């Protein structure tokens, strides 16, 4: 059936359930979780950088929006070489963001409003300013201090060659050599591994001391009352024995590029909608990571049984990702196969169906996400001419620029499709306002290390991290009292500011709020998906039923007429109406009662 054919009520009949696992009580199974990137959310002290008091001040915005939980990106003590993902002290708040007392106030305010709080944990690496690494710098090769990290002798007669050929995800070699010292061994100064920036040395997770320390860190925050942890680079802590050479190159978020790409090496990809976003190679997705998460699962079980672990694991095929959420490991894993899927009906149906059935097999909920602090916002991504292979890791001023009108229309449709899926959904701050990336940021204001380590070849992620606009036209669009913003905002943020959208029919904010209210009332997150039989082979339409709601997304060029008398609950855009018919235009999603 094509999208130009008129639908009848019978055409909206759903078939057999795709999966059988509905929500079973734990809050995270059907929660909508809102990501706060603290330095860009709201500024409480006027220094131009967002902070925890700023988060506290905006909790009512989140409550009124209708989300269930908040995930905070890192706020720990840090030299901020990678925006806080270089942690110097896992048990304290960086002064940029406030104090532990500010954290406790924010946590209490969230809980008073019925909001859960998930905090970021960065276990693959620490900052080079961490007390452990500073101790290692003055210790001898083979010492207990160096065994906490990945120190190795260099290759070659004088140890002057890198220990292996691995490349940093941020560009350049993944090894840095220490300065000469009187304690050096016969091969001279050792090298240390850093899969990211040279200021982010990788920890040695084969060392029991490292494991004990992080279990203690978990308990520190659990004792303060946090509701869970999002685990950064969850697939990266264990490396293959011997650290063998590898000819591949892992990009920041686009996935893996290998010299010889062979689909046979990833047999699940064609069937499950995988898009090449999975990181492979000897530094990722090693079986040993699962032992770590089984231990963490036991730590969380010591509390009230209501705390969760969320994996940021760029792993494909989906059958590999499902290993992270087996019953005795983590509770959720980000679905990057969905995030990277192109705006194509067949591909979306494939990845949705495979995601549900694969996670169902291990008893886990599926999570859905379209934007975060590491990727181009979906308003900008879906506005590119080539949306199937467009960049994820930043758009620069000299790159092809997105069509904001097209991107907004598609992004709203994609969002409404996502929120209609069973399971848990993640939102990135500001997407409820329809914010695009700042795609013309001047190079001299950029801070992302990937920009510098690649000599500007990669624009980096600053464009999606621009401070939010709260009051359109005010200094800094109301980000803080002084008008300062650590990154400049694009002009369009003034008209997209929160105060310009509250209560405005048809605004992106009101679409999100309405959809979240309906999602909760209809128990969509805890529902079971069935495809609409008449549209399962359509090249242009994605249509399914969850609970009592039919979700229909028209990705084609022609409007799709709806049956007479159809009750439209919410739409991502204006519908085409005539005297006797209502039609769903191109790049539009509707929720129907039919």
Q: Which residues are catalytic?
A: 232, 312
Task: 100-104: list long-range contacts, CB under 8 Å, 24+ apart.
Answer: 102/51, 102/52, 102/53, 102/56, 103/52, 103/75, 103/224, 104/224
* d(C-alpha 192, C-alpha 257), whole Å: 24
* d(C-alpha 178, C-alpha 36), whole Å: 36
Neighbours of 25 (CB within 10 A): 8
At which residue do the structure tokens 């084609």 appear?
556
Sheet arrangement for strand 560-561: 560-561, 582-584, 576-577
What is the maximal distance between C-alpha atoms in the chain? Answer: 88
Cβ–Cβ < 8 Å for 70, 36: yes
* d(C-alpha 155, C-alpha 286), whole Å: 24
At which residue do the structure tokens 């191109």 appear?
586
**DSSP β-ladder status, 582-584 and 560-561:** antiparallel
Structure tokens at 530: 């069935």
* d(C-alpha 353, C-alpha 276), whole Å: 18
Torsion of CA 161, 239, 392, 116, to 10 degrees: -140
- DSSP H helical ranges for 32-158: 52-57, 59-65, 100-112, 131-137
120-137 CB burial, b ≥16 within 10 A, e <16? bbbbbbbbbbbebbeebe
Q: Which residues lie closer than 8 Å to 341 by C-beta, 6 or more apart?
A: 273, 275, 347, 348, 351
Q: Report how far apart, in Å, the C-alpha atoms of 506 and of each of 538, 566, 571 are.
A: 28, 20, 9
Beta strands, E only, 151-275:
151-152, 175-177, 191-193, 228-231, 249-250, 256-257
Helix (H, G, I), strand (E, B) or coil at 342: coil
* d(C-alpha 171, C-alpha 453), whole Å: 5
**Which helix (DSSP H) or strand (DSSP E) does residue 530 occupy?**
strand 529-532
Cβ–Cβ < 8 Å for 190, 128: no
* d(C-alpha 371, C-alpha 35), whole Å: 10
């Amino acid at each position: 059936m094509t999208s130009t054919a008129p639908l009848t009520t019978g055409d909206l009949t759903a078939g057999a359930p795709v999966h059988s696992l509905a929500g079973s009580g734990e809050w995270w199974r059907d929660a909508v979780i809102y990501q706060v990137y603290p330095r860009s959310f709201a500024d409480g002290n006027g220094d131009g950088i967002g902070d925890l008091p700023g988060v506290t001040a905006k909790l009512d915005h989140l409550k009124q929006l209708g989300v269930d939980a908040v995930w905070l990106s890192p706020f720990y003590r840090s030299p901020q070489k990678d925006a806080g993902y270089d942690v110097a002290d896992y048990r304290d708040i960086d002064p940029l963001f406030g104090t532990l007392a500010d954290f406790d106030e924010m946590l209490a305010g969230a809980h008073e409003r019925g909001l859960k709080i998930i905090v970021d944990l960065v276990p693959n690496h620490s900052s080079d300013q961490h007390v452990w690494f500073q101790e290692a710098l003055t210790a001898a090769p083979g010492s207990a201090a160096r065994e906490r990290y990945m120190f190795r002798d260099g290759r070659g007669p004088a140890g002057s060659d890198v220990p292996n050929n691995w490349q940093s995800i941020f560009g350049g070699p993944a090894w840095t050599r220490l300065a000469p010292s009187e304690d050096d061994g016969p091969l001279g100064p050792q090298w240390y591994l850093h899969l990211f920036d040279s200021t982010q040395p990788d920890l040695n997770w084969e060392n029991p001391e490292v494991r004990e320390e992080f279990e203690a860190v978990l308990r520190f925050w659990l004792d303060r009352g946090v509701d869970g942890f999002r685990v950064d680079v969850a697939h990266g802590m264990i490396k293959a024995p011997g650290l063998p050479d590898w000819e591949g190159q892992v990009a920041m978020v686009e996935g893996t590029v290998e010299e010889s790409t062979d689909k046979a090496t990833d047999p699940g990809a064609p069937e499950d909608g995988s898009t090449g976003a999975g990181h492979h190679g000897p530094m990722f997705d090693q079986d040993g990571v699962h032992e770590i998460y089984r231990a963490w699962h036991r730590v969380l079980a010591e509390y009230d049984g209501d705390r969760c672990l969320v994996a940021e694991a760029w792993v494909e095929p989906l059958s590999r990702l499902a290993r992270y959420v087996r019953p005795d490991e983590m509770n959720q894993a980000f679905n990057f196969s969905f995030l990277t899927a192109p705006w194509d009906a067949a591909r979306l149906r494939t990845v949705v169906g495979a995601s549900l059935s694969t996670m169902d097999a291990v008893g886990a909920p599926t999570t859905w996400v379209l934007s975060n602090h590491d990727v181009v916002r979906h308003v900008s991504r879906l506005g590119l001419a080539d949306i199937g292979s467009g960049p994820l890791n930043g758009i620069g001023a000299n790159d092809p620029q997105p069509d904001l009108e097209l991107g907004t229309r598609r992004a709203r449709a994609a969002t409404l499709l996502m929120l209609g899926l069973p399971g848990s959904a993640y939102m990135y701050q500001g997407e409820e306002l329809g914010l695009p990336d700042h795609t013309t940021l001047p190079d001299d204001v950029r801070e992302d290390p990937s920009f510098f380590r690649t000599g500007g070849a990669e624009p980096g992620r600053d464009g999606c991290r621009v401070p939010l606009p709260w009051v359109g036209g005010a200094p800094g669009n109301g980000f803080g009292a002084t008008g300062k913003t650590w990154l400049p905002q694009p002009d369009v943020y003034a008209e997209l500011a929160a105060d310009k959208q509250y209560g405005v029919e048809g605004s992106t904010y009101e679409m999100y709020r309405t959809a979240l209210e309906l999602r909760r009332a209809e128990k969509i997150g805890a529902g079971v998906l069935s495809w609409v039989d008449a549209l399962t082979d359509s090249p242009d339409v994605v249509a399914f039923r969850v609970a009592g709601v039919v979700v229909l997304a028209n990705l084609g060029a022609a409007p799709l007429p709806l049956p007479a008398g159809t009750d439209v609950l919410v739409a991502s855009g204006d519908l085409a109406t005539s005297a006797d018919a209502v039609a769903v235009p191109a790049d539009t999603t509707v929720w129907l009662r039919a």
